[in-house]
Amino acid sequence: MENTLESVLQHENWARKQSGPLYAQLRDHIADAIRTGVIGAGDSLPSEREIAELSGVSRITVRKAFKELVRDGLVIQKQGSGTSVTPVVERVQQSLSILSSFTEDMARRGKHVHSELLERGLYPATLPEIMTLSLPPDSMVARISRLRIADGVPLAIERASLSPAFLPDPQNVGQSLYAHLDKYGCRPSRALQRISAINLGADDAELLDVNEGVAGLNIERISYLPNGETVEFTRSIYRGDAYDFLAELHIQPASDSR
Amino acid sequence: MENTLESVLQHENWARKQSGPLYAQLRDHIADAIRTGVIGAGDSLPSEREIAELSGVSRITVRKAFKELVRDGLVIQKQGSGTSVTPVVERVQQSLSILSSFTEDMARRGKHVHSELLERGLYPATLPEIMTLSLPPDSMVARISRLRIADGVPLAIERASLSPAFLPDPQNVGQSLYAHLDKYGCRPSRALQRISAINLGADDAELLDVNEGVAGLNIERISYLPNGETVEFTRSIYRGDAYDFLAELHIQPASDSR
DNA sequence: GAGTGGTCTAGACCACTCG
DNA sequence: GAGTGGTCTAGACCACTCG
């Protein structure tokens, strides 16, 4: 009857059956239990001390196994409230050739989105902002930083900087920055993005509700008006487990292909 | 005179000056020393036991600090040979709108590239390969897996699968798969890529000469001939610290933008 | 207040590297 | 063989969560 967690963790049911370090055997054993559904998404795991006792290893060994499960995003640990299996997140596919608005994009998929405001207002511009946005020295810059949430799941942190010429009133931006820019006729028509992979730091990981060190996508975007003026410089961090970016590539011009 | 590592690690020079856990203070202190150049790229650090003694904390606390420096890619640890500062890698910028060959791309930048062959030959096709490449059931598939190395630095693992119709002789492929396909007039003209972020597993991390768990880019590419036939299905893993992908975005058609 | 994960210690032995 | 990081233990106290 009890083909549950407890029996799975019984020492005699796993230890020394494989080779390699104890913590790796325990880690793989728990990972299998998660993947095969013996433990479901969102379920709580026994405490480190309980597992240590059940499985006959020291608590530090259990912690070491957990640490790697945490790093790989299989479980989530919270001080004071225990360890549980990471809830599954539906991956969002986003095009890398069509410039779209997060809010409009998600609405089209029938998802309920909202943003948590992290920062909004006019600030003294930093040097990168001055250079990227072609601002005069000692200029102010409009900044909007938001945590993007779809159906209750935080997906991305967006930190946008704009020239005050295009956004004199950051306080009035609602859910969608692009919709706001539309009103003033300065919605960008073209953008360049730079994409790289990073391990999330403690602060960003907490905002995105994932474990520190989990892989994320770091995207810097510079958006332009049809006349070539720079509108927006945005640094975003996306959850690696929640996003697939799609790009369509074409062969380079024949003259160049030697 | 000795404003070196040893003095930096002296217990009285850092401990308890900040708040927070000991290991975090030590970690930040070493990270600062690396960033400010007190310890240079490639330099060896003292052993865990030496640091423990110098700084007056237990070895486990030193290990915990090191573990996070390793995770963030600042240092590299090798059993039996010690801990050293990660050598700096020049980032490669690669377009996400132009389909180019790794070999040709790097040659254009004056880099010396070579590949280490991981797997090459004809194998029974897996289900995903059959579906993606439109192969008949129980078909064979040509596979080439290579570790891409530029100027001695491993940059990416590429695992390509092709229909034997396009690549009957995988054994004859040289440095460049695309150059080989050119000869038979079946070089792809268009491709779709899916990009996501992952934490590198132990095997891939070892091939790429980085630490396990470091963030990498996972890219799946499907390439097409001008007539629409699928040529190639490639799963690649790129080092997150070595690649920036560039994408140019355009506004979506007006009819769609409501 | 009971229970959880987070930090820290002292000490031990193992696996690997390198001269 | 000496030195390195890797694993493991038993035990302690702290910070946080939750009923």
Q: What is the pLDDT of residue B164?
A: 92
Q: What is the pLDDT of residue A81?
A: 87
Residue A1's Cβ-count burial label (10 Å; 0-12, 13-18, 19+) is exposed
| Residue with the two structure tokens 């969608």 | A176
Q: What is the pLDDT of residue B216?
A: 92
Q: Do A169 and A97 form a contact (C-beta atoms < 8 A)?
A: no
What is the SS3 assignment for B159?
strand
- Residue whose Cα is closest to the C1' of D10: A58
Q: Which nucleotide is nearest to A44 (CA to C1')?
A: C4
- Total residue length of chain B: 258
Which residues in chain B have Cβ-Cβ distances shorter than 8 Å to A257?
A: 104
CB contact under 8 A, B195 and A98: no
Which range of A8-12, A250-254, B186-190, B236-240 scores highest in mean pLDDT? It is B236-240
Q: Do A248 and B190 form a contact (C-beta atoms < 8 A)?
A: yes
Separate counts of helices (H) and strands (E) for chain A: 9, 12
* Tens digit of each residue's pLDDT (9 = 90 or more) over A23-64: 999 998 899 888 888 888 888 999 999 999 888 899 999 999
Q: Give the residue from B33, B13, B14 showing the smallest Cα distance to B75.
A: B33
CA of A173 to C1' of D6 (A): 53
Average of per-residue pLDDT across B242-248: 86
Amino acid at A41: A
What is the SS3 assignment for B31?
helix
Q: What is the pLDDT of residue A13?
A: 62
- CA–CA distance, B201 with B191 (Å, rounded to integer): 27
Q: How confident is the model at residue A257 (pLDDT cuts 50, 70, 90)?
A: very low
Q: What is the pLDDT of residue A237?
A: 94
Average of per-residue pLDDT across B148-173: 89
Q: Do A59 and A26 form a contact (C-beta atoms < 8 A)?
A: no
Q: How confident is the model at residue A254 (pLDDT cuts 50, 70, 90)?
A: very low
- CA–CA distance, B190 with A31 (Å, rounded to integer): 39
Q: Do A180 and A174 form a contact (C-beta atoms < 8 A)?
A: yes
Average of per-residue pLDDT across A207-215: 86
Average of per-residue pLDDT across B201-224: 88
For the cut 80, the answer to whether the pLDDT of residue B2 exceeds it is: no
Across chain B, mean pLDDT equals 84
For the cut 80, the answer to whether the pLDDT of residue B256 exceeds it is: no
Average of per-residue pLDDT across A239-257: 70
- B88-117 residues labelled b (16+ CB within 10 A) or e (exposed): ebeebebebeebbbbbbbbbeeebebebee
Q: Half-sphere exposure of residue A163, counting CA atoms within 13 Å on the CB side?
A: 18
Other beta carbons less than 10 A from residue B161's beta carbon: 23
Q: What is the pLDDT of residue B249?
A: 82
Amino acid at A13: N
Q: What is the pLDDT of residue A173?
A: 83
Helices (H), B77-174: 102-108, 127-133
Work out if A45's Cβ lies within 7 angstroms of strand C. yes
Q: Lowest mean pLDDT of A2-16, A71-85, A216-230, name the range.
A: A2-16
For the cut 50, the answer to whether the pLDDT of residue A178 exceeds it is: yes
Q: What is the pLDDT of residue A156?
A: 92
Across chain A, mean pLDDT equals 84
Q: How confident is the model at residue B141 (pLDDT cuts 50, 70, 90)?
A: very high
Q: How confident is the model at residue B16 (pLDDT cuts 50, 70, 90)?
A: low
What is the percentage of chain A residues whose pLDDT exceeds 90?
Answer: 27
Q: What is the pLDDT of residue A59?
A: 92
- CA–CA distance, B98 with B107 (Å, rounded to integer): 16
Average of per-residue pLDDT across B30-44: 87
For the cut 50, the answer to whether the pLDDT of residue A85 exceeds it is: yes
For the cut 70, the answer to whether the pLDDT of residue A198 exceeds it is: yes
Query: Cα distance from A67 to chain B (closest Cα, Å)?
Result: 11
CB contact under 8 A, B247 and A247: yes
CA of B152 to C1' of D19 (A): 59
A216 vs B3, residue with greater confidence: A216
Q: What is the pLDDT of residue B81?
A: 87
| Bridge partners, A233 (sequence order) | A161, A222
- Residue whose Cα is closest to the C1' of D6: B79
CA of A258 to C1' of C10 (A): 66
Which residues in chain B have Cβ-Cβ distances shorter than 8 Å to A190?
A: 248-251
As given in the structure block, the two tokens for residue A23 are 């913590």
Q: What is the pLDDT of residue B232?
A: 92
pTM to 2 decimal places: 0.78
Q: What is the pLDDT of residue A159?
A: 94
Q: Do A192 and A222 form a contact (C-beta atoms < 8 A)?
A: yes
| Bridge partners, B217 (sequence order) | B197, B238
Query: For chain A, how are helix, strand and coil distributed in percent, rounded to 5?
Result: 30, 35, 35
As given in the structure block, the two tokens for residue B109 are 């930048």
- Residue whose Cα is closest to the C1' of C3: A80
Residue A102's Cβ-count burial label (10 Å; 0-12, 13-18, 19+) is buried
Which residues in chain B have Cβ-Cβ distances shorter than 8 Å to A221?
A: 249
Beta strands in chain B (DSSP E): 75-78, 82-85, 92-95, 98-99, 113-124, 140-150, 153-162, 190-199, 215-224, 230-239, 243-251
What is the SS3 assignment for B209?
coil
Other beta carbons less than 10 A from residue B253's beta carbon: 8
Q: How confident is the model at residue A2 (pLDDT cuts 50, 70, 90)?
A: very low
- CA–CA distance, A89 with A79 (Å, rounded to integer): 23
Average of per-residue pLDDT across B75-82: 89
CB contact under 8 A, B249 and A97: yes
Q: How confident is the model at residue A16 (pLDDT cuts 50, 70, 90)?
A: low
For the cut 50, the answer to whether the pLDDT of residue B257 exceeds it is: no
- CA–CA distance, B215 with B196 (Å, rounded to integer): 10
* Tens digit of each residue's pLDDT (9 = 90 or more) over A227-247: 888 999 999 999 988 888 888
Q: Half-sphere exposure of residue B147, counting CA atoms within 13 Å on the CB side?
A: 16
Q: Give the residue from B67, B82, B81, B2 showing the smallest Cα distance to B30.
A: B67
